């Protein structure tokens, strides 16, 4: 998979692409991530990318031309690339969407910034995603979150068994896990996990997933 991230703050992604699982996914060739500073596509003096809003009001608004040019450039070898705008008024992001997007060959993630963007930028995008009902300073963190959730699902990135019973894959939260020591400050590992009885452990975990979901996220059980 190829992911292009269009941003005005490319260095925000340094840690994201140079650590841990994402770094390994890139090294193994499971994903190619291209961080693109769309300021380089401006034809204005000082590579300006924003301007004052028509109709007045404060703040600066992202202009459409540099993003248009950057998107066209990214799409030149793959016109079917899916362009996604990160914005608080997009569709709420869910694990199901991560599973759908993992099947795309090429994603172009557009990070908005400043106080806003020209409304016509929406017409360049196939989809708009919000990562939650709160407003961030820009689309960079959402772009990392969306990419991370997709990359970890790609073949060869993490072992399949880790993906099978995790939260949200089937509308349930994950079961509780424990490691050594067997007892810490009076808190004990449940006996069942020490029993070696794999079918009973499996049933216990399933039961815990349901119990936890009922307790914490009853909305998921609809
Ligand atoms: N940009 C700013 N806030 C955002 C959010 N909650 N989701 C996606 N993009 C954003």
Compute the half-sphere exposure of residue 182: CA atoms within 13 Å on the CB side of its CA: 5
Q: Which of 135, 145, 146 to mutate to test the pocket of ligand 1 (most atoms within 8 A of CB)?
A: 135
Q: Do the domains at 2-151 and 164-220 have one common CATH topology? A: no
pLDDT of residue 163: 79
Instruction: Report the CATH fold assignment for 164-220.
Output: 1.10.1270
pLDDT at 169 over 80: no
pLDDT band at 114 (very low <50, low <70, confident <90, very high): low
The superfamily CATH assigns to domain 2-151 is SPOUT methyltransferase, trefoil knot domain (3.40.1280.10)
> Could you identify the residue written with the tokens 């039961």?
207
CB 29 within 8 A of CB 1: no
Hey, what are 150's tokens?
Answer: 């997709």
Residue nearest to atom 7 of ligand 1 (CA): 130
pLDDT band at 164 (very low <50, low <70, confident <90, very high): confident
Residue 5 CB-density burial (10 A; 0-12 exposed, 13-18 middle, 19+ buried): buried
pLDDT band at 144 (very low <50, low <70, confident <90, very high): very high
Question: What distance in Å separates the CA atoms of residue 27 and residue 83, rounded to the nearest whole number?
Answer: 24
Q: Where are the domains of the chain?
A: 2-151, 164-220
The predicted-structure confidence for 60-89, as pLDDT tens digits, reads as follows 999 999 999 999 999 999 999 999 999 999
CB of 7 closer than 6 angstroms to any ligand 1 atom: no
pLDDT at 165 over 70: no
Q: By percentage, how much of the chain surpasses pLDDT 90?
A: 90
């Amino acid at each position: 998979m190829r992911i292009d991230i269009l941003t005005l703050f490319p260095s925000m992604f340094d840690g994201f692409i140079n650590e841990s699982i994402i770094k390994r996914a890139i090294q193994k060739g499971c994903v190619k991530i291209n961080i693109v500073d769309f300021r380089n596509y401006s034809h204005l003096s000082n590579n300006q990318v924003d301007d004052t809003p028509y109709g007045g009001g404060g703040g600066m608004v992202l202009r459409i031309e540099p993003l248009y040019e950057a998107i066209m450039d990214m799409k030149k070898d793959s016109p079917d690339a899916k362009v996604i705008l990160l914005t608080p008024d997009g569709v709420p992001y869910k694990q199901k969407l991560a599973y759908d997007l993992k099947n795309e060959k090429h994603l172009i993630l557009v990070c908005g910034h400043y106080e806003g963007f020209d409304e016509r930028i929406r017409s360049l995008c196939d989809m708009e995603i919000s990562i939650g009902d709160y407003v961030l300073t820009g689309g960079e963190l959402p772009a990392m979150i969306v990419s991370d959730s997709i990359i970890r699902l790609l073949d060869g990135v993490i072992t399949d068994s880790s993906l099978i019973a995790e939260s949200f894959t089937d509308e349930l939260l994950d079961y509780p896990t424990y490691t050594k020591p067997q007892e810490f400050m009076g808190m004990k590992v449940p006996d069942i996990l020490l029993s070696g009885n794999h079918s009973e452990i499996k049933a216990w975990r399933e039961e815990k997933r349901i119990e936890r979901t009922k307790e914490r996220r009853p909305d998921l059980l609809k």
